[in-house]
């Protein structure tokens, strides 16, 4: 192989390796991160409900008809938010942490905290 062929082969291999991305095990975020100091932009429908649906409404947990509370609707979530602070305690403060699969990502916790601080509006 001459030097030019070797050089082009090397450049091609480097370009190929640089352009590849290992997506195994990576999950795309389902909700956009909350911009700093932007609690006013946190909306139940856009930020909070998708997090709850993805993490809290699995079979036997907070799905429709559950004795643990129905988180499939705003009314169901609000009932738990307003009932003695247990929602905030379990999700944000970490008493008995929820969801049981592990603590939510900090960006999601920040969104929920912003929403709670605004009075948990249905927007």
> So what's the pLDDT on residue 85?
77
pTM: 0.64
Tokens coding 61: 């947990």
> So what's the pLDDT on residue 49?
92
Distance CA 104, CA 93 (A): 11
Q: pLDDT tens, 30-61? A: 555 555 566 878 889 988 999 988 888 776 78
pLDDT of residue 18 exceeding 60 = no
Instruction: Using alpha carbons, list the distances in angstroms from residue 12 to 5, 22, 26, 40.
Output: 10, 19, 26, 48
């Amino acid at each position: 192989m001459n030097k030019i062929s070797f050089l082009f082969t090397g450049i091609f291999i480097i370009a190929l390796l640089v352009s590849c991305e290992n997506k195994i095990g990576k999950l795309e975020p389902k909700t956009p991160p909350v911009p700093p100091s932007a609690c006013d932009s946190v909306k139940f429908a856009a930020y909070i409900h998708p997090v709850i649906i993805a993490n809290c409404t699995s079979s036997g947990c907070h799905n429709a008809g559950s004795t643990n509370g129905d988180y499939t609707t705003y009314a169901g979530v609000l009932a738990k938010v307003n009932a003695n602070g247990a929602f905030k305690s379990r999700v944000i403060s970490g008493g008995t942490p929820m969801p049981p699969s592990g603590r939510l990502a900090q960006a999601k916790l920040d969104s929920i905290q912003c929403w709670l601080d605004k009075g948990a509006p249905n927007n």
